[in-house]
A and B are shown apart, each in its own frame.
Chain A
């Protein structure tokens, strides 16, 4: 539904009729859409529409039954989570997947693993290069914490943080690796209005300052409309709408399938 023909490299991500099912139950059926480099794309749709499953396909947690994912114009039948991370796909989870027993700053630093250069022995014996690297990592983490206004909690055990804050830490963990594509699964779930406003600000900043492409799942239509320039609507694993917020809102199928059922 994009209005004009794509120029090469214009799309960072393409999903070509991907299908996925659990024990015969279809979660996603023949789904296709494309994400422009540098845009914020929102996936919306009622619960069980297959949104989270889709994200899991995108960074390889699930293997699709058929179809392919094209990332940075490379075609993948199935991309392994590691591979995805190495290629710069960041990800947060619907119900936080943080490392609960570790401090905030440690959690954020784990995001840097794929940038680790110093070897085992260097780190074991604290050799210069390992030290330098550790310091660099720590500084990057510090700056991310500051960016997300988390310094106050830097040494707190993540498990003990409020839900909203945890979401923020998870964002930081994905962010620090400098992803080209960021997959956010309901980054504002269970937040009050202020927290939501803050979070959307962070996301737009990331998108603007770091030029990171963002694909996010969100229920709050208000937020979506304000945040994203591109909306894909799913219902029962099928795509029922794809376009600008305005287009989507005008789309009768969407109204029928989604807005109709929204509470």
Chain B
């Protein structure tokens, strides 16, 4: 049949694509340069440990959830559960396979999370939308319970916590703030690149098709159930690796409690605020959600000094978050990323440009 398609007139120009592909790298390279070279040099412990590393990990988690929710349209509030799987699995591999290099352990952990995600995704063929969310909630609680309950997962430490084994890649120790930062950044960079490939591929298009209208997707020959489950698996893979990084590159230790329901909500907010169905949105949302609290409490300290009741700042913060979420849902359902795009559009027509 495709032969007959070729009887149709030859392709029109695909200039737009060419432009897109030619334009992208520069901004990207500059960004990566700053991230990989400048920040480690100028950063300092506080920045790396307390701001950049968590920001990157949350971005990765947001990215993972975005693949599931933003691109495939299946809301999940079980993200933290999958993060936990990744963290504990990676720990297990490093502990019981001492020879295993860190990157492989991370991937293995991710795959493990992916498998769990796949299983959780199985009902998605029968249960839809809001009810599916309940499945993920159940998974969240169940996984939390598992990692509290069975000491094997945390090597029978009576504290129930797992702590980072020596982080090193092929002999280079990554214990320092810079090391852990670079490990995180590297992982996030690679996985982001993969995600971009995916969402621009046929697979990505199929996901979005299912999101926008699943019946039609089936009618034009997209195996809806399989792609739904695939989305669950991929998303969980990302979340799993994010979880491992959260535990080892950021906290340095973790227990089931580090991955509770609130973390799941936090990640959901990241993509609501940042932008559903947008890679960049995940990063923007993460930046926002991890920076706002710090800015607020710093601000609080600067303004009120020691006399300030930190609790009130926190309450205020909660309110601000809540308001923002609602405002975004009402005014800009596509999140900050869309907002910024509009801003750019405005700047583009700004007289000074011409």
Q: Which positions in A face B, CB cutoff 8 Å?
A: 59, 61, 81-82, 84-86, 88, 90-91, 93, 97-102, 106, 109-116, 118, 120, 123-126, 130, 133-134, 137-140, 142-147, 151, 154-155, 173-174, 176-180, 209-211
Q: Which of A81, A91, A130, A134 has the most B CB atoms < 10 Å from its CB?
A: A81
Closest 8 CB pairs of A and B: A178-B1, A85-B221, A97-B216, A99-B212, A114-B221, A123-B201, A142-B11, A81-B218
Query: Which one, A110, A120, A124, A178, contacts B209 given CB within 8 A?
Result: A110
Contact with A along B200-238 (1 / 0, CB 8 A): 111101101101110111111111000000100000000
- B30: chain A residues at CB < 8 Å are none
Of B2-10, B51-59, B256-264, B309-317, the one with at least 4 CB within 8 A of chain A: B2-10
Contact of A59 with B219 at beta-carbon distance under 8 Å, contacts A112-B202, A143-B11 already known: yes
- B329: chain A residues at CB < 8 Å are none
Interface residue ranges of B164-221 to A (CB < 8 Å): 194, 197-198, 200-203, 205-206, 208-209, 211-213, 215-221
Q: Which residue of the partner chain A has the closest CB to B204? A: A123
Query: Judging by beta carbons under 8 Å apart, are A134 and B201 in contact?
Result: yes
Query: Which one, B5, B9, B218, contacts A140 given CB within 8 A?
Result: B5
B351 is an interface residue with CB less than 8 A from chain A: no
Knowing that A98-B213, A123-B197 are A-B contacts, what are 4 other residue pairs whose CB atoms are under 8 Å apart, sorted by A's residue number? A113-B205, A123-B202, A125-B194, A178-B2
- B274: chain A residues at CB < 8 Å are none
Q: Which residue of the partner chain B has the closest CB to A120? A: B203
Chain B residues touching A, majority SS = helix
Contact of A176 with B5 at beta-carbon distance under 8 Å, contacts A130-B201, A139-B11 already known: yes
Query: Judging by beta carbons under 8 Å apart, are A101 and B208 in contact?
Result: yes
Q: Which residue of the partner chain B has the closest CB to A122? A: B201
Query: Judging by beta carbons under 8 Å apart, are B220 and A102 in contact?
Result: no
Query: Which one, B6, B9, B202, contacts A109 given CB within 8 A?
Result: B202
- Bound Cα distance A113, B209 (Å): 11
- Bound Cα distance A145, B194 (Å): 29
CB distance from A30 to the nearest CB of B (A): 26
Q: Which residue of the partner chain B has the closest CB to A84? A: B219
- Bound Cα distance A102, B27 (Å): 25
Query: Which one, B11, B16, B221, B230, contacts A146 given CB within 8 A?
Result: B11
CB distance from A195 to the nearest CB of B (A): 21
CB distance from B145 to the nearest CB of A (A): 32
- Bound Cα distance A118, B208 (Å): 19
- Bound Cα distance A93, B217 (Å): 12
- A82: chain B residues at CB < 8 Å are 218, 221-223
B17 is an interface residue with CB less than 8 A from chain A: yes
Interface residue ranges of B66-103 to A (CB < 8 Å): none
B14 is an interface residue with CB less than 8 A from chain A: yes
- Bound Cα distance A137, B205 (Å): 12
Query: Judging by beta carbons under 8 Å apart, are B9 and A123 in contact?
Result: no
- Bound Cα distance A38, B290 (Å): 61
A-B residue pairs in contact (CB < 8 Å), sample of 11: A88-B1, A99-B213, A125-B194, A130-B201, A134-B202, A139-B11, A143-B9, A143-B12, A144-B8, A176-B5, A180-B1
- A174: chain B residues at CB < 8 Å are 220
Q: Which residue of the partner chain A has the closest CB to B6? A: A143
CB distance from A233 to the nearest CB of B (A): 25
Query: Judging by beta carbons under 8 Å apart, are A144 and B209 in contact?
Result: no
| Range, interface on chain B | 35 or more
Q: Which positions in B face A, CB cutoff 8 Å?
A: 1-2, 4-12, 14, 16-17, 194, 197-198, 200-203, 205-206, 208-209, 211-213, 215-223, 230, 277
Query: Which one, B5, B7, B9, B205, contacts A110 given CB within 8 A?
Result: B205
- Bound Cα distance A133, B200 (Å): 13
- A109: chain B residues at CB < 8 Å are 202, 205
Query: Which one, B1, B16, B198, B208, contacts A124 given CB within 8 A?
Result: B198
- Bound Cα distance A93, B220 (Å): 11
Contact of A124 with B197 at beta-carbon distance under 8 Å, contacts A91-B219, A102-B212 already known: yes
- A140: chain B residues at CB < 8 Å are 2, 5
CB distance from B232 to the nearest CB of A (A): 14
Query: Judging by beta carbons under 8 Å apart, are B12 and A113 in contact?
Result: no
Query: Judging by beta carbons under 8 Å apart, are A61 and B217 in contact?
Result: no
Query: Judging by beta carbons under 8 Å apart, are B5 and A143 in contact?
Result: yes
Q: Which residue of the partner chain B has the closest CB to A141? A: B11
CB distance from A223 to the nearest CB of B (A): 24
CB distance from B245 to the nearest CB of A (A): 20
Query: Judging by beta carbons under 8 Å apart, are B217 and A143 in contact?
Result: no
Q: Which residue of the partner chain A has the closest CB to B222? A: A113
- B12: chain A residues at CB < 8 Å are 142-143, 145-146, 151
Query: Judging by beta carbons under 8 Å apart, are B16 and A154 in contact?
Result: yes
- Bound Cα distance A2, B186 (Å): 69
Query: Judging by beta carbons under 8 Å apart, are B216 and A98 in contact?
Result: yes
- B218: chain A residues at CB < 8 Å are 81-82, 85
Contact of A143 with B8 at beta-carbon distance under 8 Å, contacts A99-B216, A101-B211, A180-B1 already known: yes
Contact of A85 with B219 at beta-carbon distance under 8 Å, contacts A102-B209, A124-B198, A209-B7 already known: yes
